[in-house]
A and B are shown apart, each in its own frame.
Chain A
Amino acid sequence: MSYESWILIVGSLAGVTCGITGCFLILRKLSMLADAISHTVLLGIVLAFIVSQSMSGIYMLIGAVVVGLLTAVGVQMLHHAGIQEDASIGVVFTFLFAVGVILITVFADDVHLDVDHALMGEITFVPWDLVQWGFLPELPKAFLMLSTVLVINLVIIGLFYKELKITSFDPQMAAAIGLPVLLIHYLLMGLVSITTVASFDSVGAILVVAMLIAPGASAYLLTNKLSIMLLLSALIGVSAAVIGYYLASWLDVSISGSMATVNGIIFALVFLFSPTKGLLSRKFTMKKLKMD
């Protein structure tokens, strides 16, 4: 397959995976926690490297899940100890991220991972970073990781769809009918962690946040139904990735940055022109009501 098509495939996979997971974050008001996890995953990757001395995907996934869950638990503990939620998120993620950056600079000679790369991602190198898994032919590592994570996400969301839906929309009722609300919360955080680390290589820590939140937020303004929101979000994620790629190669700029920018532009358009919840349509209805 050609160079360009690999980048498009990897970008679209990241768009779908992030878009689907992000919907639940929007509905549960957990966006900032995802932002926090996307930063602390850096620490997980560094620790995984120091422990295993390899950059193999599976160790990175494990390290990311461990640190991601640690972030979620830390925030929950501080919140429980009486600190308001946004501040506890701020304290936990900045601390873990700072430790990660310090470790990278101290072990700089050993870690083949520079901070810029972790933050901005380098999707341009994806087609050359090939690995061989089992009987499969040699394929790009990012492609394999993203498709594995997408399958995991789809299976878990498919299996627990009803539970995720109820706990997202009505946590009190979910607790009352005996659903393990906290367990589902941590399950979702685990999904966010592996999604982040799989997208890390291609789009970087901060732009993964754009791919998680922006498609979901746009879809949220377009529909009232969860299943349609998930579909729309995945669709928007893919289109932002594809448009972003062509825009970047036309203007000769960072691909991941331009994907995030396109995500922002799509959100702005939806925000203004959404048929039911957009700014203009609301203004219009308001005027009509006044005239009546």
Chain B
Amino acid sequence: MNDLLRMILLDANTQWVLIGTMLLGIASGVLGGIALLRKQSLIGDAVAHAALPGICIAFLLSGEKSLFVLLIGATITGLLAAYSIQFIISSSIIKEDAAICLVLSVFFGFGIVLLTKVSQTPSGNKSGLDDFIFGQAASLVGNDVKLMAGAAAVLIFITALIFKELKVLTFDPSFAKGLGLPTGLLNFLFLSLLVAAVVVGIQAVGVILMAALLITPAIAARYWTNSLSKMIVISGIFGALSGMAGTLISTLGEGLPTGPFIVVTATALFLISMLFAPERGLVTKWIKRIANNKQLRNNKLLQGEKRSGYHEL
């Protein structure tokens, strides 16, 4: 087991994959943290599903499986989906949940229609595109991984640059408008970053589970702190840990998909945070309550003794 692990860790390609999933974890943790506070967590889910038609269209148009082209297609349909959701909510009586669900499933359905078309083209042996549904980070090689790592690093950098503006926009949109910040542009920028993170993550985690990488580390981080900047750092760390652990586990066995293991690791981190985080964790709260009850009972006892003593006098 130890030898196997050492062998895997020393392999150059695996090292790149690990760096890639780590950076991806950081990027999606950070962006997911902001999305959580803006109550846009599930938009990431919709965007991830909506990337499928984009990937297929890009393939049908370009006729080759160049990752860069596929990702551009995914970004375009992802953004289209995000804006369709916002448009449906703002201009009809359909509520947010129904709008997200509708866009997600219709885009994905259209994606599947296109996927069957792709599999009919001579070069479109669909095995490659299929990996996008569940993610197969371990089988990624060379330039694809470097592209993923580079893109994730760029995302982290851009988020750091506009962090202050995003913070104001998240907590007090009207104040942001009052300051003269371009809120429409910032909204667009944030959505694009979110879409980009989802799209970059798809090949490692898959379209269905990508949402977890945006939501779960952020929720876990929320238990540890009340400050946005600290929360985002913690969320990034959790994301990185889950990405790396999931990748390692999936390289251990033949044909194990990466995405599900990343998600399970992230959920384990979330459960630990929910139970044991200082101040907000359920177990810590419970211990505090017991201590508090004891103190109350002691106080009462003392008061009772005083009173009974008074009566005896």
Q: Which residues on A are within 8 Å of B, measured CB to CB?
A: 25-26, 29-32, 34-35, 39, 81, 83-84, 86-91, 94-95, 97-99, 101-102, 105, 108, 115-116, 119-120, 206-207, 209-210, 213-214, 216-217, 220-221, 248, 251-254, 256-261, 263-264, 267, 271, 277, 279, 282
Min CB gap A171→B, angstroms: 15
Docked Cα-Cα span, A136 to B17, in Å, equals 56
Docked Cα-Cα span, A206 to B116, in Å, equals 16
Q: Which residues of A contact B117 (CB under 8 A)?
A: 251, 253
User: Once the chains bind, are B209 and A98 in contact (CB under 8 Å)?
Assistant: yes
B267 within 8 A of A: yes
- Please tell me which one of the listed residues B94, B116, B120 contacts residue A221 in the complex, with CB atoms under 8 A apart: B94
In the complex, the chain B residue whose C-beta lies closest to that of A209 is: B105
Docked Cα-Cα span, A245 to B85, in Å, equals 27
B270 within 8 A of A: yes
User: Once the chains bind, are B93 and A220 in contact (CB under 8 Å)?
Assistant: yes
- Please tell me which one of the listed residues A35, A87, A257, A261 contacts residue B219 in the complex, with CB atoms under 8 A apart: A87
Stretch at the interface among B171-179, B229-237, B252-260, B301-309: B252-260
User: Once the chains bind, are A91 and B212 in contact (CB under 8 Å)?
Assistant: yes
Min CB gap B279→A, angstroms: 12
Docked Cα-Cα span, A29 to B133, in Å, equals 28
B218-246 CB mask vs A (1 if < 8 Å, else 0) is: 11001000000000000000000000000
B106 within 8 A of A: yes
Min CB gap A243→B, angstroms: 13
User: Once the chains bind, are A115 and B106 in contact (CB under 8 Å)?
Assistant: no
User: Once the chains bind, are B102 and A91 in contact (CB under 8 Å)?
Assistant: no
Q: Which residues of B contact A86 (CB under 8 A)?
A: 39, 41-42, 97
B186 within 8 A of A: no
Starting from the known contacts A29-B97, A83-B219, A254-B115, 12 additional A-B residue pairs (CB-CB under 8 Å) come to A31-B97, A31-B102, A32-B101, A87-B215, A91-B216, A94-B211, A101-B257, A105-B255, A221-B94, A251-B113, A257-B112, A277-B93
Known: A86-B39, A102-B260. A260 touches B102 (CB 8 A): no
User: Once the chains bind, are A94 and B212 in contact (CB under 8 Å)?
Assistant: yes
User: Once the chains bind, are A89 and B260 in contact (CB under 8 Å)?
Assistant: no
Docked Cα-Cα span, A258 to B108, in Å, equals 10
User: Once the chains bind, are B110 and A264 in contact (CB under 8 Å)?
Assistant: yes
- Please tell me which one of the listed residues A88, A217, A256 contacts residue B98 in the complex, with CB atoms under 8 A apart: A217
Q: Which residues of B contact A221 (CB under 8 A)?
A: 92-94
How many B residues touch the partner, as a band?
Answer: 35 or more
Q: Which residues of A contact B267 (CB under 8 A)?
A: 91, 94-95, 98
User: Once the chains bind, are B110 and A257 in contact (CB under 8 Å)?
Assistant: yes
Min CB gap B88→A, angstroms: 7
- Please tell me which one of the listed residues A90, A99, A260, A282 contacts residue B216 in the complex, with CB atoms under 8 A apart: A90
Per DSSP, chain A at the interface is: helix
Contacts A/B (CB < 8 Å), 26 sampled: A29-B97, A30-B97, A31-B97, A31-B101, A31-B102, A32-B100, A34-B101, A84-B41, A87-B36, A87-B218, A87-B219, A90-B216, A94-B209, A98-B264, A102-B264, A105-B256, A116-B133, A206-B109, A207-B108, A207-B112, A210-B108, A213-B98, A221-B92, A254-B116, A256-B109, A263-B109
Min CB gap A67→B, angstroms: 16
Per DSSP, chain B at the interface is: helix
B204 within 8 A of A: no
Q: Which residues of A contact B132 (CB under 8 A)?
A: none
Min CB gap B27→A, angstroms: 18
Q: Which residues of B contact A263 (CB under 8 A)?
A: 106, 109
In the complex, the chain B residue whose C-beta lies closest to that of A214 is: B102
User: Once the chains bind, are A253 and B42 in contact (CB under 8 Å)?
Assistant: no
User: Once the chains bind, are B261 and A257 in contact (CB under 8 Å)?
Assistant: no
In the complex, the chain A residue whose C-beta lies closest to that of B35 is: A87
**Which among A29, A102, A248, A271 has the greatest number of chain B C-beta atoms within 10 A?**
A102
Min CB gap B39→A, angstroms: 7
User: Once the chains bind, are A35 and B215 in contact (CB under 8 Å)?
Assistant: no
Min CB gap B122→A, angstroms: 15
Docked Cα-Cα span, A94 to B255, in Å, equals 20
Q: Which residues of B contact A214 (CB under 8 A)?
A: 102, 105-106
**Which among B101, B111, B113 has the greatest number of chain A C-beta atoms within 10 A?**
B101
Known: A97-B208, A102-B260, A217-B94. A87 touches B112 (CB 8 A): no
Q: Which residues of B contact A83 (CB under 8 A)?
A: 219, 222
User: Once the chains bind, are B208 and A91 in contact (CB under 8 Å)?
Assistant: no
Min CB gap A176→B, angstroms: 24
Closest 9 CB pairs of A and B: A260-B109, A264-B106, A257-B112, A94-B212, A210-B105, A98-B260, A90-B215, A98-B263, A257-B113
User: Once the chains bind, are B94 and A258 in contact (CB under 8 Å)?
Assistant: no
User: Once the chains bind, are A257 and B116 in contact (CB under 8 Å)?
Assistant: yes
Docked Cα-Cα span, A91 to B216, in Å, equals 6
- Please tell me which one of the listed residues B45, B94, B109, B209 contacts residue A259 in the complex, with CB atoms under 8 A apart: B109
Q: Which residues of A contact B260 (CB under 8 A)?
A: 97-99, 101-102, 105
Docked Cα-Cα span, A84 to B40, in Å, equals 11
B282 within 8 A of A: yes
Docked Cα-Cα span, A98 to B45, in Å, equals 15
Q: Which residues of B contact A84 (CB under 8 A)?
A: 36, 39, 41
